[in-house]
Structure 1
């Protein structure tokens, strides 16, 4: 025990000497490039010595009783002493004036010796002479926002452990790196600028047969892959092929982290061809098809990868031919997890907006539209975000028209299926009971539906849409909602059947006239749309009688008095139905 403690102390003393030499070498004024190379090798050696000097967690000391190690300690001490003298000669106020060729040769020799010492120490460690007893201690991570030098030393330690440690030491080092990368972006930037070999070794470990090493490496990659300044380095290090291989042969956790990494690396269709060339597209599609009910996080990331790749026409065509549309329709129909649903709908929006064949596949399949409609039902499992996205997807995929004349019949059939599916009744329910963001999405979709055809307007009127639109004109509502509600209402009452229904329902006309009082100084389109609706209502005798009988008709008169053209025309129409406005009209029209 005494001998082991003595050698442990010797290792610590030697590590301190090496660290002192690192600091000293940084002050040299001659042969700066040579000294920079020596410092890099010194930092590797210092990390190895510090690790070797750590006490065994159970015995309380490091088990170093071997003559090979003692000889190595002696050799390192001699090299450090020799190099300290070289550093002194190169650190004077004047540039070194001795034999430059000899000094270059000596510096090269020192660099070679330190490199050899590091490799020898790594070999001794790998042989088991330095027993870690499977509980290697990882040095303390610098505090968040700590000094750059402290972080650099920490990362050099991690690199040494990753490169030379046993299975447990490598695993702990990977865990520590994931934590450091996630907490401090500065750590990632130091890795990129000064220790990029860490990224190289992480990429190489993606093919490790040791599951813990593979999973730890892919988790570290997924943590840094989102940084734009890291992506090029990972791509050059060849990260995509092993990530794709993990999708096929890795564990569930490995697949989850690999798809998340690929999702980050393929943003804006970057590196799409690399993923495709390595067979990644069918593997990701298979994940979506087979894991949608078991590993929700994995499916969410897989959806994100495909959504990123859909911008490449050749890859998009392959997806469609491989059944991507039915796969994602099935996810929407069966999943209750928000992230998976949102990613799946975003994918369908993207692929259908870029390819009419994909849109036709979805809209001609009855289960496709039904899968979206189920998300509009009142259910505690369906979040507001999901309902909003479902409404947007119905508008973008089922109700948007194709520019191709070959698809005109498909557009008409899709609209008919939506209108006959009970969709409008659910839309009215969301206008009535939905939260504000959902109501806004429902209103936008209602505005889209009412311009598609006269039949669509009739069905919307029959579904009870108009009274809900009138309620949304209340001043407590946001301006955008009031304006959209007025626009849709104006559109609906352009249909004669809807006008009769609107007039028959109590308070509808009265409510519009009441709202006009707040729109006198209106800078948006609400007043314009309401006046247009009143213009259409005043085309019928019953409409004119309703307007004249309203207690708020004075609001319309005030607009006419301020020379608002539409208001004046409406008042003129009303002049034949009663005498209360005749005196006013004579004053208005004689001016």
Structure 2
């Protein structure tokens, strides 16, 4: 703070008359010129006066540099700053006179306090002047300063604009701060790329300090919004926000701020925790219970961001344990069925992370009847992202005996994953096929979903994602355990043609062990009808070449296809 207009230990000062910046600077310079030599003769409180004299010398040097700046007198901030400089120097002059007067006998502690206060005021003035000088705004005409940069503005103009914003934010009064924050929010909303420049050229640490509970309400709201935008706009600005210590104040706002502030703060925390290395800090600030509580009682917007932050930090093992202790699992499952679409997707993702982490969490989830809720959401959700997370969670839970039995016996669930294999995106197909291959499905249900076999054959040709060919082949082999399914598959000309192409030794895109396993499954019962169709399609010739190449499984599949009795006949058929 700068000195008040009156002080109980100092005579009151009259308000200075209106004057130009040049007149104010001239008056300050003259006062400093006379004051500095006067401090040399003071013999009391010498150590404090030595510090004050150093501050006065620094102030004089800065004012000299200020006057050399081309457009210093046009800067509006100096209209309030220079009077504060003069007022502070007057108080230093009064103290100088009192300490130089042998007849003046003030209380020692009171004088020490007054000298320390003056030192603090001078330090603040020096800081503000240094900020103005370093920003470069004093070298520009006032017509440029604070004019909002256009789309075609150069990087230099944008950098100057950012520096000017933060200069006014730190030095100016309430109105300066409000206008600066408005301009900052406008800049960040219009141009996401500006976030990186703000992180580089702006004083983000000061912006973070405005999140404090004691700040002006409007200023605090705009500061929270600006911090949220910085956290969400770029990796560089998000890292800067975290490193400047914003996480703690943001969590305090979530804990006790108004709901609009909680929403913005939760958005910032969600973005900050996207970086895995920041997750530990949430626990360090006591943020786990705060986020869980917001998931329970926040607005729909706040809940969505809070559950997003919980999802982000759930990748940390220690925080997962804290989440369980804070009762997060029932809250997650409730949002899974009753939250907004965004909250449901994030809750499903978090449940999937917990389910895949350890048997301990799988048991906790099953105790809360998570499988029933997941199956309900699988039926009700239309979002492919949400469905993917739900399927991942179900797949992880299927490793538990009770879940395995329940899923294997559920005709509704089996039909759903078969439908996803036919109509879902590649990730949904991948996970559904993995479940189909993993579960112990009845013959009746295998017959019921025979319509997805063509899609499984097609998936066997897909090189990406890794592992898709294998799970598709395993799921198909499982379905081919039913005789009617084997007949249906070989009657499908498209499927048969795809299978033959995959067996072709010249085809390097598919591992041969998968189509070989399918052929072996088709011939498991030695059906003559299946054998004829496979041979007619050209499977025998490819298998023979693969057997000669000693491809694993090829000889066994060839034996099943030819049969000892008819081997010579089929060899002749192939040659013809």
TM range (shorter): 0.5 to 0.7
Q: Does 1:556 align with 2:539?
A: yes
Give the whole-Å Cα distance in 2 for the aligned partners of 1:373 and 1:531: 35
Alignment correspondent of 1:18: none
The answer to whether the 8 A contact 1:419-1:459 is kept is no
SS in 2 for 1:225: helix
SS in 1 for 2:251: helix
Q: CA 1:539 to 1:261, structure 2 compared with 1: closer, same or farther past 3 Å?
A: closer
- CA distance in structure 2 between the partners assigned to 1:523 and 1:46 by the alignment: 72
Q: CA deviation at 1:448?
A: 4.1
Give 1:559 deviation, angstroms: 1.7
Counterpart contact for 1:388–1:441, Cα < 8 Å: yes
Provide the residue aligned with 2:431 in structure 1.
444
Mapped contact 2:473–2:515 kept (Cα < 8 A)? yes
Choose from 546, 571, 574 the match for 2:530. Answer: 546
1:533-570 alpha-carbon deviations (Å, 9 max, x no partner): 322332324x233322x286241232245354656655
Q: 1:536 aligns with which of 521, 544, 555?
A: 521
Q: Tell me how far 1:583 sits from its aligned partner.
A: 3.6
- Partner residue of 1:501? 484
Using the TM superposition, give the Cα deviation of residue 141 of structure 1 relative to its aligned residue in structure 2, in angstroms.
1.8
Deviation per CA, 1:169-202: give whole Å up to 9, x if none: 4333212112324555775555555542x53144
Judge conservation of contact 1:333–1:371 (CA < 8 Å) in 2.
Answer: yes
Q: Deviations over 1:466-495 (max 9, x none)?
A: 3312244359974556765334212443xx
1:85-484 correspondence runs (5 A): 115=125, 139-144=146-151, 146-147=153-154, 149-163=156-170, 165=172, 167-183=174-190, 188=195, 191-196=198-203, 199-225=205-231, 227=234, 229-230=236-237, 234-235=241-242, 237-291=244-298, 294-296=299-301, 298-337=302-341, 339-366=342-369, 368-377=370-379, 382-395=382-395, 397-399=396-398, 401=399, 411-421=400-410, 422-432=412-422, 434-437=423-426, 440-451=427-438, 455-456=440-441, 458=443, 461-464=446-449, 466-474=450-458, 478=462, 484=471
Native 8 Å contact 2:310 2:350 kept in 1: yes
Equivalent residues of 2:329, 2:365 under 8 A apart? yes
Once the two structures are TM-superposed, the CA of residue 282 in structure 1 deviates from its matched residue by: 0.8
Q: Name the SS for the 1:450 alignment partner.
A: helix
CA contact (8 A) 1:263 1:308 kept: yes
Deviation at 1:38, TM superposition (A): 6.1
Q: Provide structure 2 residue ranges, at least 5 long, that are not aligned to the other structure.
A: 1-17, 26-57, 88-121, 133-143
Q: What's the counterpart of residue 585 of structure 1?
A: 571
3-state SS of the aligned residue for 1:473?
A: helix
C-alpha separation in 2, matches of 1:52 and 1:184: 27
The change in CA–CA distance for 1:577 and 1:281 in structure 2 (over 3 A counts) is same
Q: TM-score, normalised by structure 1?
A: 0.66
Contact 1:424-1:463 at 8 Å conserved across structures: no
- 1:522 aligned partner: 507
Pair 1:486-2:473 in alignment: yes
SS of the residue 2:185 aligns to:
helix
3-state SS of paired residue (1:442): helix
Per-residue deviation, residues 240-263 of structure 1 (Å, max 9, x unmatched): 332111102222221122122222
* CA 1:42–1:148: 2 relative to 1, 3 Å: farther
CA distance in 1, matches of 2:574, 2:59: 96
Q: Is the 8 A contact 2:446 2:482 kept in 1?
A: no
Distance between the aligned counterparts of 1:288 and 1:278, measured in 2?
A: 18
**Residue 382 of structure 1: SS of its match in structure 2?**
coil
Distance 1:504 1:517 in 2: 16
In 2, the alpha carbon distance for the partners of 1:363 and 1:45 equals: 72
Alpha-carbon distance, 1:285 to partner: 0.3
Q: CA distance change for structure 1 residues 509 and 289 in 2, over 3 Å: closer, same or farther?
A: same
Displacement of 1:139: 2.8
2-structure distance, mates of 1:188, 1:398 = 42
2-structure distance, mates of 1:215, 1:462: 61
CA distance in structure 2 between the partners assigned to 1:74 and 1:170 by the alignment: 20
Indicate the SS of the match to 1:140: coil
1:101 matched residue in structure 2: none
TM-superposed deviation, 1:412: 0.8
In structure 2, what is the Cα distance between the partners aligned to 1:476 and 1:311?
32
Q: Deviations over 1:141-162 (max 9, x none)?
A: 2234634553454334323443
Structure 1 unaligned spans of 5+: 1-6, 16-32, 54-63, 77-111, 123-136, 402-410
Q: Are the structure 2 counterparts of residues 45 and 515 from structure 1 closer, same or farther at C-alpha, using a change threshold of 3 Å?
A: same
Using the alignment, how far apart are the partners of 1:486 and 1:114 within structure 2? 73
Normalised by the length of structure 2, the TM-score is 0.67
CA distance in 2, matches of 1:585, 1:552: 10
Q: Hey, what's the Cα distance between the residues in 1 that align with 2:63 and 2:156?
A: 17
Q: Distance in 2 between matches of 1:326 and 1:561?
A: 58
Deviation per residue, 1:383-429 (Å, 9 max, x gap)? 2222223222222x312x4xxxxxxxxx1112112233431121112
Q: Is the 8 A contact 1:12 1:50 kept in 2?
A: no
Aligned mates of 2:254, 2:424 — CA distance in 1 = 40
Equivalent residue, structure 1, for 2:4: none
SS in 2 for 1:540: coil
Q: Secondary structure at the match of 2:210?
A: helix
Aligned equivalents of 1:489 and 1:168: distance in 2? 70
Contact 2:304–2:340 (CA<8 Å) still a contact in 1? Answer: no
